[in-house]
Amino acid sequence: MRIKEKVQFYVRRIREGRLKEMRRQIRWIYGYARHYWKEMCFYTVLGMGGVLLGLISSLISRDMVDIITGMKTGQLARTFGWMIGMSLSSIIVNQITSYFSNRISYQVDADIKADIFAKIMVTDWESVTQYHTGDLLTRWSSDASNISSGVLSFIPSLIINLFKFAGTLWLVIRSDWTFAVFALLGIPFSMLMSRTLLTRMQNQNEKNAAMSAKMSGFNQETFSNIQTIKAFDLIRRYISRLKDLQKEYIDMQLSYARMTMGSSILLGLIGLAVTYGSYGWGIYRVFTGAITYGTMTMFLSLSGNLTGAVNSLTSLIPGLISLTTSAGRLMDIVEMPREDYSRTREASEFLSRHRAEGIGIEVKDLSYAYRTGTEVFRDVSFEAHPHEIIGLVGPSGEGKTTMLRLLLSLLRPAGGSITLVADHERMPVTPATRLMFSCVPQGNTMFSGTIAENMRNVNPDATDEDIVTALKLACAWGFVSRLPKGINTEIQERGGGFSEGQSQRLSIARALLRRAPILLLDEASSALDVATEREVLRNIMTDLYPRVVIVTTHRPTVLTMCTRVYQIRDLTCTQLDKDQIDTLIREF
């Protein structure tokens, strides 16, 4: 096979693959569109009514001109009244259409975004973390909005413009078929140009989406880490990076603009040729007496309608490409593996039966490796029971946080099992069993809002007294009680307004308020002084609620309060005896 033939072969394969993918994306969009067929029918009927009023107005305008020029007899006042009535009706119909279009669009946009948001939230955690949060935000906001507007407008716009084209063409042919020839001259050129631009538009839309995600990610990350940027005096560097991104975006847009500019000029010249050709032919037909002045005026108006309908139909092609591009980006997310919540009812009943005596956890022969292939655990086993504090220690990067994520079923083990145990009854850990866990992860995890709102995020029915009790257990009530608004004090984004130690105690209080049988603390007391740390753990253990506490730590003071200590190191999890714990404390 010659080089030219090979190139043609691969180009053909790429096009076939794109068409196949586009069909799959259209089917995915149809899955949403079919839920809103009533709204689309209503919108289509309103649009077709507006087109019909426009065509009737053209006929009335023709009669008005003919009556004024004396080429037709009739009642001028009545015809003028009809023209005003049609104009007013057109304005009212257009406004009603616009109102209902916006109303339906807002609802469809909200429904689709809520559905996609829900699907993203139940997507496998390890899979979704491969995407930058800025990229996720762009896909959920911009791409989902594109889908919602496309679902509502594409099919109705297609039907309305086809109806407008067919109705206008019928009216033109019925009055003088020769005008139809001039009006339709530009259509083959428009279709040819659209076909030529199809692939380029698809590539451009993909580049635009990727660039938007890149800029959104940069902005989100910059504003989230503005303190670090200031601390390292990186302001000028980040301003420079933004300008580089903006230049890249502008260059990409200008490249596409140059390509479309030539096409637009060509289409514009064709449109002018058709328009002036129609003028010339109309003047000739009037002079020869074949048509009246009113008919010529109507033809010129309808010629614009035909061109507008064709241009609108042609513009649906880039709209469809943009729509399928957004669908593809969303499908990348929502078609990833989903978390399994099929046992939610069973988990809830399990919790209800055993909340009073507490629930333990058993890890047996657990193995796990990252998707990169790096092995983290191999045949790891340990257990924890109510009223116990289990310590997990080991060097950074050996898998302590990964272990807690496995317990929460955020990650899927490669082998072994994690089982909840209560009164000789057992239940495997799944996403549905998270209702039995409460967690304080590393870093600041407080949300913007009041302290009380943060607390009630995990327990909506908690009273103010319940919140105060949890704050006391976490040694947070001391500073909260001194605040002017107490538990109604506002917390800024990322815990702003509070020290790191205060934010940690608020996070611990929130976890305790959940009243879950298993409490996971991931370096949750790292910002606390030794005395406060010990007091918090002592309060948790003296609390009568039968909970398991599993804590990861680098602090030796915690180890002396643990029922058992396991060391995670070199792919294993080994229980340490007293001598080993003492040695470990001395090494700290």
Residue 96 lies in a domain: yes
Average pLDDT of the residues in 384-409: 89
Query: Which of 32-41, 92-101, 344-353, 495-504 has the least mean pLDDT?
Result: 92-101
- Count Cβ atoms below 10 Å from residue 142 Cβ, excluding itself: 17
307 and 384 in a single domain? The answer is no
285 and 349 in a single domain? The answer is no
304 and 400 in a single domain? The answer is no
- Count Cβ atoms below 10 Å from residue 417 Cβ, excluding itself: 14
83 and 18 in a single domain? The answer is yes
Interatomic CA distance for residues 573 and 407, integer angstroms = 14
Task: Match 């033109």 to its residue by tokens.
Answer: 172
Contact by Cβ (8 Å): 266, 193: yes
Q: Tell me what pLDDT residue 367 has.
A: 92
208 and 255 in a single domain? The answer is yes
317 and 374 in a single domain? The answer is no
Domain endpoint, select from 301, 334, 367: 334
pLDDT per residue over 317-348, tens digit each? 777 777 888 888 888 888 888 888 899 999 99
Q: Tell me what pLDDT residue 203 has.
A: 67
325 and 381 in a single domain? The answer is no
262 and 376 in a single domain? The answer is no
293 and 436 in a single domain? The answer is no
Residue 276 lies in a domain: yes
Residue 501 lies in a domain: yes
Interatomic CA distance for residues 57 and 361, integer angstroms = 77
366 and 262 in a single domain? The answer is no
Residue 339 lies in a domain: no
Domain endpoint, select from 286, 301, 334: 334
Got the DSSP string for 2-50? -HHHHHHHHHHHHHHHHHHHHHHHHHHHHHHHGGGHHHHHHHHHHHHHH
Query: Which of 71-85, 150-164, 315-329 has the least mean pLDDT?
Result: 71-85
Whole-model pTM? 0.74
User: Domain containing 41: what range?
Assistant: 3-334
Residue 62 lies in a domain: yes
Average pLDDT of the residues in 226-240: 79
Q: Of 1-10, 95-104, 384-393, 525-534, where does the model show the most confidence?
A: 384-393
278 and 318 in a single domain? The answer is yes
108 and 18 in a single domain? The answer is yes
The 3-state secondary structure of 340-355 reads CCCCHHHHHHHHHHHC
Look up the CATH number of the domain holding residue 389.
3.40.50.300
Residue 241 lies in a domain: yes
Residue 479 lies in a domain: yes
Domain total in the chain: 2
Look up the CATH number of the domain holding residue 294.
1.20.1560.10
pLDDT per residue over 462-495, tens digit each? 999 999 999 999 999 999 999 989 999 988 877 7
Domain endpoint, select from 281, 299, 334: 334
Residue 28 lies in a domain: yes
Interatomic CA distance for residues 469 and 471, integer angstroms = 5
Q: How confident is the model at residue 85 (pLDDT cuts 50, 70, 90)?
A: confident
